[in-house]
Structure 1
Amino acid sequence: MLLIYDESSRDLAGTMGIELIYKVFPDGEQYIRLPVDVSGQRVIYATRAYPGQDKSILRSMLVISALRDLGASRVGLFMPYMPYARQDRRFLDGEAISIDYIIKAFRHAGLDDLYVVDIHKPEVLERNGVGINLEPFQLYSTALTGLKNPLVLSPDVGSLWRARKLAQLLEADFDYLEKSRDRYTGEVSMKPKDISASNRDVVIIDDIIATGGTIINGIKALRGEARSIRVVAAHCLLLNEADEKIHGAGAAEIICSNSIITPHSKIDVGALMRQVMN
């Protein structure tokens, strides 16, 4: 198996593979060239998709198409953060189901295997007939040390499965944060649905932190009750200084993967890629 990577994912590849020859012309158009004969080989192309999602998607399509055209026996794409994954269904009439269209475009270009890390809704891979969702929960459990009487919480019921998987590794309880609205004042509050967070080390887990609004509200609700609060997510965009706001709300630590490079990238998704390569 051969690994080809671009400059964005050089650190993920480590000593493995060969770097793609890539440049951008003055008019913004992209140029790629494969630096090795791929005929008859199984090849995985590794790339980060953020920042510059649209450019990364187009570059990936060029690489996939070239690999197929030049005779690779099987073509894979390792894209740990999958752009547009949150638009996974038609919420309003007339909307594009963005993630489906992108995966279909990759497949049309010649993709056989798609490897992502903790995609927003893993079922989109199943319905598109391609893709392996690499789970980082074991890496999280290794990074989370010194917890006393831990409780793992998801910010909503949709991510409860993530809380359950991490809790099993930590031998901890798990629950999700439930929103409630006072029918008289209209005030919205959040608390664990079934399990008290009192005097516990709490871990809030999600797949993506964009602006962090939901997590911040959850932290504020737990502050003064929990012994400590940590936040874990695979993909940390941290828009509008979200990390400062999360710390300001009372989080002791933010743990992110390096699918997107941030000061909080403590989890190496390159380890998941190397498992695939082996």
Structure 2
Amino acid sequence: MQNSKARPLPRPVVIAMPGNEQLADELATLLWLERGAATVRRFPDGESYVRIASPVGARAALIVCTLDRPDDKLVPLLLLAKALREAGARSVGLVAPYLPYMRQDRCFQPGETISAQHVGAWISQCVDWLVTVDPHLHRIADLSQVYSVPSRVVHAAGSVAQWIRAHVREPLLIGPDEESAQWAGAVAKDAHAPFVVLSKVRRGDRDVEVSVPDLERWRSHTPVLVDDIVSTARTMIETVGHLRRAGLAAPVCVAVHAVFAQAAFDDLRTAGAGEIVSCDTIRHPSNRIPLAAAIAASLRTLLPEDAARVGRRAPRL
């Protein structure tokens, strides 16, 4: 008589692209995943080389790769996803805490292309699902408009608010522009703090003007600037200057995604910012807010049921 009990699925395997080892290790611990190995390097001519070095046959596989500075990462990522399929992986998912090209969501000048759609299509062709953290959704209402595979969005507001409650006295949450209103409002609600949103006019990549309302009533509070992405930091730098001239304390600056292009981080400190803090979606010295647990919680809805069941019993970091 045959045993009617279904054989449990093998443990999913998690593979880190270079620079993503810490998050892959944390997810493996939280979800009881097997840590896989892969070689990802460049040939002398600059072309990418990938090789799967762990058994992945009949397993669910997930790649961990945050996609800041994406042009150096996309080709090896896509090749790695193909290599996993060719090695027999049953499915291939992507954990990309930072998604690139989301701000290029419309044509601003004749002859431009909507990069968000094309990058989304490339990635969707190679993976079966996607998990990311607070993508920059402005004119794009939902990730499904640019990604054709199932996706989960992890929201950092709760983790940011928890850090603010623990480290900032009498916070006043400030969104440096209208696009940041959703982030500042969500964080302020969770932090039980008041918030205001400023107005911004952008004339170029590094030419930004910010208007600040009357903040006299908040003089006893600690201003906390919150934004989803800080790249050139020009918006925050302009805002910091206005707040300091208004007599407020040096503001705490919080970024979900610490892109910090070129000298932006040093420029922000020089402008008079107080503590500069970020979530760990992109590795940076400002990382103070870990998101592995939140990402793991979202991943449980995408992993095979056997793995998700075990993951719920896995130890917490």
TM over 0.5: same fold? yes
Contact map agreement 1:4 1:20 (CA 8 A) in 2: yes
Distance 1:48 1:179 in 2: 29
Q: Conserved in 1, the CA contact under 8 Å of 2:171 and 2:222? A: yes
Go from structure 1 to structure 2 and tell me whether the alpha carbon gap of 1:143 and 1:43 turns closer, same or farther (over 3 Å shift). Answer: same
1:132 equivalent to 2:140? Answer no
1:242 Cα shift? 1.9
SS in 2 for 1:14: helix
Aligned counterpart in structure 2 of residue 112 of structure 1, from 128, 134, 140: 128
Spell out, residue by residue over 1:117-170, the C-alpha distance to the aligned partner (whole angstroms, 9 max, x if none): 221117351313442221222221232234333221111111211111111110
Asked if 1 retains the 8 angstrom alpha-carbon contact of 2:43 and 2:49, the reply is: yes
Partner of residue 263, structure 1: 285
Distance in structure 2 (CA, Å) of the matches to 1:10 and 1:199: 42
SS in 1 for 2:251: strand
Structure 1 residues 170, 100: CA separation in 2 closer, same or farther (over 3 Å shift)? same
**Counterparts of residues 74-153 of structure 1 (less than 5 Å):** 74-109=91-126, 111-121=127-137, 123-128=141-146, 129-130=148-149, 131-144=151-164, 145-153=166-174
Paired residues of 2:178 and 2:200 also in contact (CA < 8 A): no
Structure 1 equivalent of residue 230 of structure 2: 209
Give the 3 Å change call, closer, same or farther, for CA 48–11 of structure 1 in structure 2: same
TM superposition shift of 1:213: 0.7
Alpha-carbon distance change, 135 to 189 in structure 1, aligned in 2, over 3 angstroms: closer
Partner in structure 2 of residue 3 of structure 1: 14
Residue identity (%): 28
Q: Which secondary structure state, in structure 2, belongs to the residue aligned with residue 226 of structure 1?
A: coil
2:191 alignment partner AA: L
Distance 1:189-1:69 versus aligned 2 partners, 3 A rule: closer
Which range is displaced more, 129-138 or 55-64? 129-138
Instruction: State the alpha-carbon separation in 1 of the partners of residues 200 and 124 from structure 2.
Output: 39
TM superposition shift of 1:179 = 4.3
Q: Counterpart of 1:123 in 2: which secondary structure?
A: coil
Structure 2 residue runs without a partner (length 5+): 1-11, 29-34, 202-208, 301-310, 312-317
Give the CA deviation at 1:234: 1.9
Q: Which amino acid in the other structure matches residue 132 of structure 1? A: R
Give, in angstroms, the shift of residue 86 of structure 1: 1.5
Q: Distance in 1 between matches of 2:216 and 2:115?
A: 37
**For 1:143 and 1:113, how far apart are their aligned partners in 2?**
30
Number of residue pairs matched by the alignment:
269
Read off the aligned partner of 1:226 and give its amino acid letter.
Answer: L
Task: Describe the SS at the equivalent of 2:19.
Answer: helix
Taking structure 1 as the reference length, the TM-score comes to 0.87
Whole-Å separation in 2 of the counterparts to 1:199 and 1:232 = 20
Tell me what 2:295 maps to: 273
Look up the SS of the partner of 1:211 in the other structure: coil
Work out the CA distance in 1 between the residues paired with 2:168 and 2:290. 21
Find out whether 1:246 has 2:268 as its counterpart. Answer: yes
Quick one: higher RCO (CA 8 Å, sep 6+), 1 or 2?
2
The partner residue of 1:45 within 52, 60, 63 is 63
Q: Looking at CA atoms only, which structure, 1 or 2, has the larger radius of gyration?
A: 2
Alignment partner of 2:68: what SS? Answer: coil
Deviations 1:21-53 (A, max 9, x none): 2222111121112223323322210013334x2
What CA RMSD, in Å, does the superposition of the two structures yield over aligned residues? 2.4
Q: Answer whether contact 2:176 2:210 (CA < 8 A) is retained.
A: no
Any residues of structure 2 matched to 1:20-31 within 5 Å, and which? Answer: 20-31=38-49
> Structure 1 stretches of 5 or more lacking a match?
181-187
Residue aligned with 1:106, SS: helix
